[in-house]
Homo-oligomer: A and B are copies of this chain.
Amino acid sequence: MKQTRINKLFGIEHAIIQAGMVWTSGWKLASAASENGCLGLIGAGSMKPDLLSEHIQKLKNYYKENNINKPFGVNLPLIRGDVKDLINTILKEEIKIVFTSAGNPKQYSDIFKYNGIILVHVVASVKHALKAQDSGCDAVVAEGFEAGGHNGVDEITTLCLVPQVVNAVDIPVIAAGGIASGAQIAACMALGAEGVQIGTRFAATIESSSSSSFKQKIVDAKDSDTYLTMKKLNPVRLLKNKFALNVIEAERKGASADELKEILGKKREMKGIFEGDLDEGELEMGQSSGLVNDIISVKDLVNRLLNEYSIAVSNI
């Protein structure tokens, strides 16, 4: 793959970021991604501060025991009620790379920068990309409508979002949303992205900590099997299982934010992704699930992505 500012920024071989996903991106997935030349992220979204500490320490110990020296980072959703405690954990554990999402990075950018942390924010519009740049972020992830899990309100797709963000900002842009193949990585690089962030495809690896029945659902999903729901709360893309179909039906009837909150209840993500409750859980996955046909190791995945990338580049 082409070398870009993203390789330099993180000190990584391939400009591929493994997304920090709830109940999925523990230390095993993050270390496997980093070990294989990508940037691995531990997803703090489903972790209390103590559990985050534990995952970071396990990863560090594993690297120490195996003489591995590769960069990794933490993804931090800023809407978390205990965000300050999580930031304290990140500082205490001397994390050097943080990806923030779901919120305004301005509030916390000073503390990250003061501590020498490379800061990247996930955005879904040009306006928020400019705000992230103004907040001192070192790069942005431009994530399109097709992405799994939490999503922007403007519904801009990766194909349209990436080139507009690239035009608008000076910092490097990482494309995200819908990417599961090397051909799609090549497409995003053609749009001016300097790297890609990949979620769903990494969720269906052996090292991902989500339940095996959730992983199998990613493999089984077809092109039209996900939908962006909960638009009056925080939009989230889900596999259209029993729970999601209930939400879609309620939304068609004009359900209010409060009614949706009640339908949602609590811990649906854990139920679906981690415990494998395929009917009543939230099964967060992107439209790229239609392109995922197997559960493989991270090593095999990275090799495949690089191979597909080369073929795609040589074909245009």
- Interface set of A (CB-CB < 8 Å, partner B): 2, 125-127, 144-146, 154-161, 163-164, 167, 177-179, 181, 183-184, 186-192, 222-224, 227-228, 232, 252-255, 286-288, 290-291, 312-313, 315-316
Contacts and interface: CB of A to CB of B under 8 A. Distances in A.
Given A146-B159, A189-B315, A190-B315, 5 more contacts: A2-B316, A145-B145, A156-B224, A186-B190, A187-B191
B192 A183 contact: yes
A237 to B, nearest CB: 10
27 contacts: A2-B315, A126-B222, A126-B224, A127-B224, A144-B157, A155-B228, A156-B287, A157-B158, A158-B159, A159-B184, A160-B223, A160-B286, A160-B287, A160-B288, A160-B291, A163-B183, A163-B291, A164-B291, A167-B291, A183-B190, A183-B192, A186-B190, A187-B187, A187-B188, A190-B312, A191-B312, A313-B316
Contacts of A313: 190, 316
Contacts of A186: 187, 190, 316
Contacts of A179: 159
Contacts of A181: 163
Contacts of A222: 126
Contacts of A228: 155
